[in-house]
Copies of this chain bind each other. A is one copy, B any other.
Amino acid sequence: MNTPFCGVIPPLVTPLTVDGELDLASLERLITRLLDSGVHGLFALGSSGEVAFFDDDMRAQVLDAVTGIVAGQVPVLAGCIDTQTHRVVSHIRAAEKTGVTGVVVTAPFYAITGQEEIRHHFTAIGEAATVPVLAYDIPVCVHTKLAPEMLMDLARTGAIVGVKDSSGDDVSFRRLALQNRAEGEPLALFTGHEVVVDGAYLSGAHGCVPGLGNVDPAGYVRLHTAAQAGDWEQVRLEQDRLAHLMEIAFAPVGKVGPAAGVGSFKTALQLLGVFDTNTMSAPMTALEGSNVDAVQDVLQKVGLL
């Protein structure tokens, strides 16, 4: 592969103060814990990082802080997520200044776009970026699926060097992985689905970008190491343990989307002493009361607390 990206690259959850400001102390504790666990990279400003809730200034603060704390120990990917091409290019320019190793870009959203426009979008971004670009396939947010054929075309022209798959479509992922291998693996392939990383590795993934990796980075590193060694039975057992842990994201009652998932990760990190608060960006609200208890209950059952 022609990229430095491989292995476990958690999408950083962004700690906030109760006033919604970036909580630098918590961020430093989070990153230190992840690096100590042996993760192979970090992905700042992903969907789990609440990127869609942040303006340019907040995004710059996050990238400055992350690259500063990491100080080159592992590659750092930056999510450059916005509605359309020019706005994405602006974010890439800003990210490049902070010294990130690569950027992650979705299909356009809000305005309906066809396959022709999506192709133009990634081609233009590939030409504009001075760092490697990974395509982020996340139809639950952008409401279009990136077709394997188009991703391979973009790989051939060098517009993209990798794919982060959060599509929920494991059939499409297998087809992409198969074609990628047939062409000498121009793409680094990552799955974002916390509970089926093992299957994605069998399919041909080179790594994972699990939001749950913020909570249990060591588990995903063990899973990755076992997969590299071809010890699939160990992979499976570790995955089952992590799938149990992932129930924290399904435990909150009355919450959907990141208010449930990211909300549970932040709550777990607060319970683990890593974060000072579990504050969420408006219009989301933090988990409270019995929803916090439900997260704590799962952590205890899995042995993290």
Contacts and interface: CB of A to CB of B under 8 A. Distances in A.
Given A86-B53, A202-B236, A254 B116 contact: yes
A71 interface: no
B81 A141 contact: no
A52 B283 contact: no
A56 B109 CA distance: 17
Given A85-B282, A120-B285, A178-B244, A196 B199 contact: yes
Contact of A193 (B112, B170, B195): B170
A81 B108 contact: no
Nearest to A282: B85
A247 B95 CA distance: 40
Interface stretch (A30-38, A256-264, A269-277, A288-296): A256-264
A267 interface: no
A85 to B, nearest CB: 4
A8 B291 CA distance: 42
A83 B244 contact: no
19 contacts: A52-B109, A52-B110, A53-B87, A54-B86, A84-B282, A85-B282, A85-B283, A109-B110, A111-B257, A113-B256, A113-B284, A116-B254, A143-B143, A168-B169, A174-B243, A175-B195, A175-B247, A198-B202, A202-B232
Contacts of A230: 232-233
B243 A53 contact: no
Interface of A: 20, 47, 50, 52-56, 81, 83-87, 90, 108-114, 116-121, 124, 140-143, 168-171, 174-175, 178, 193, 195-196, 198-200, 202-203, 230, 232-233, 235-236, 239-240, 243-244, 247, 250, 254-259, 281-285
Contacts of A53: 83-87, 111
A24 B174 CA distance: 36
Which 7 A-B residue pairs are closest in the complex by CB-CB distance? A199-B199, A112-B257, A232-B232, A120-B283, A121-B283, A52-B110, A52-B83
User: How many copies of this protein are present in the complex?
Assistant: 4
B170 A196 contact: yes
Given A143-B143, A196-B203, A113 B283 contact: yes
Given A84-B283, A258-B112, A283-B108, A203 B193 contact: no
A127 to B, nearest CB: 11
A87 B200 CA distance: 35
A124 B202 contact: no
A142 B282 contact: no
Contacts of A85: 53, 281-283
A141 B111 CA distance: 6
